[in-house]
Amino acid sequence: MMKKPSEIARQLLGADYDKLDEHTRNVARHIASRTHIARHPGTAAGGSVGQRAADAVARFGGSWTFIGLFVVVLLAWVGINTAALTGLTGVFDPYPYILLNLVLSMLAAIQAPIILMSNNRQSEKDRAHAEHDYEVNLKAELEIMLLHEKFDQLRQQQWTELLAMQHQQIALLAKLLGDTGQPVEARSSSGPAPV
């Protein structure tokens, strides 16, 4: 017996289907149609070339490999220019290392927005995953509520059937006792009844 999403919403959530938010309506539709909740499209690892490049730059910029290479380049730069101060080679960036400061500033100016783009994209992915998790958890909770209702109905049906059988047994026992003319207490003390 398939229920409509509006019936599911009214029965389990106690609200009208039209008044529910998009995710809760989606869950009610999935429960009514007995289907699973799939990941939303657009949460895949794809994206435009710029987005994938931003992810790669952020991944590399936040790695120990980048830090190690960065330290090596800085030490080489300072070492070469320090050697130049001692007169061993020609100086291309004298002691306050103004050219090095300019390169580092340009690197930071380019790297920061790229990392921010990657973080924004990761936030969108996380939000989509959180929405999916919410829908799956809500569906599981509502399915459990439906199971509880089914168990309660089965238990109520079994009690009703058990009571009906007990009434039949009492009626049969009363009929048997009425045929023999013995009260129940006398029969139980005298042993089993003859057949």
Q: CA–CA separation, 85 vs 106, rounded Å?
A: 25
Least confident range from 15-19, 69-73, 96-100, 182-186: namely: 182-186
Residues 6 or more apart whose CB falls under 8 angstroms from that of 78 comprise 97, 100
Domain ranges in the chain are: 1-38, 48-121, 143-182
Q: Determine phi and psi for 84, rounding to 5 degrees.
A: -65, -35
Q: Determine phi and psi for 15, rounding to 5 degrees.
A: -140, 160
The whole-number pLDDT of residue 88 equals 62
pLDDT in tens, 107-143: 899 989 998 999 999 999 999 999 999 999 998 998 8
What mean pLDDT is predicted for residues 137-151?
Answer: 90
Task: Measure the CA angle with vertex 120, ends 115 and 124; round to 5°.
Answer: 145
- Sign of the torsion angle spanned by Cα atoms 116, 118, 122, 127: positive
pLDDT in tens, 41-99: 555 557 788 888 888 888 898 899 999 999 999 888 888 877 776 666 666 777 778 88
Q: CA–CA separation, 113 vs 192, rounded Å?
A: 94
